[in-house]
Amino acid sequence: MQLLDNKIIFLTGGSMGIGLECAKKYAEAGAKVMIMANDEASLIESMKILGEGHSTFFGDISISSNVENAIKFTLKQYGKIDVIHNNAGIASPSKSLDQTDEYEWDKLFNINLKGVFYTTRYGLEALKQTKGCILNTSSVVAEIGQENHAAYSATKGALNALTKSMALDYAKYKIRVNAVAPAGVWTPMLREWAKQQKDPSKIEKYLDDIHVLGHCPDGDVIADACVFLVSDKARFITGNIMPVSGGAELGYRRFE
């Protein structure tokens, strides 16, 4: 028996970056993965990687009807949902609060938080049936902040509080709710952020140095932790924000 045998995982933002690494690890552990994302090309590529038995749904996580239809599609396809992994998120823009405009603020909150509201709203009844779990992708910046990322940090701080409140609300249904909190991880989103910085040539060393273990990892290290958190091995863990950060939060260093 594999760790996630017979599990059906609804994964948002799972067609690239950390999400795709999670999808691959979930599939390797025996789960069937339904990826919802708003990039059609990457959804097609993700299915080539995962192979038969997995599915995709093209949609915007910040639009209520898209999420409702995605959940319905998953239930029609597989008959149940064991895990909802809210991974979809954006980090741009790289700005202080006063430089952030209203459109940018709303987009960050709509994707990073409203998406969680929608997946829970439409997926909770299915999780009650399976006594499943919810996993949120947060960030260490939720606790320590990040220069020139006030709005993004705010969404992740809110996500941590939301994770704990959801864990309390849904414990009576035997539904666990946890979050995973990376620091730097080499993804397309991080590479885009690197390009926005004053001296992109120094970014790689900076990202290595902020991690106490000495390097900025790829997404597979986050995915391994996620497999554990959604498995029965973590059956008595709920309301937990798990740093998978190479110790970055122990001494985040300023980039000069």
Query: Are 35 and 59 contacting, i.e. CB atoms less than 8 angstroms apart?
Result: no
Catalytic, 152? Answer yes
In order of 32, 47, 51, 109, 172, the CA distances from 54 in angstroms are 5, 7, 7, 29, 31
Cα–Cα distance for residue pair 108/49, rounded to 1 Å: 29
Catalytic hit among 78, 118, 122, 152: 152
Q: How long, in residues, is the chain?
A: 256
Torsion (CA) 218, 20, 123, 236 in degrees, nearest 10? -40
In order of 149, 165, 197, 234, 249, the CA distances from 145 in angstroms are 8, 21, 17, 28, 10
**What residues are labeled active site?**
152
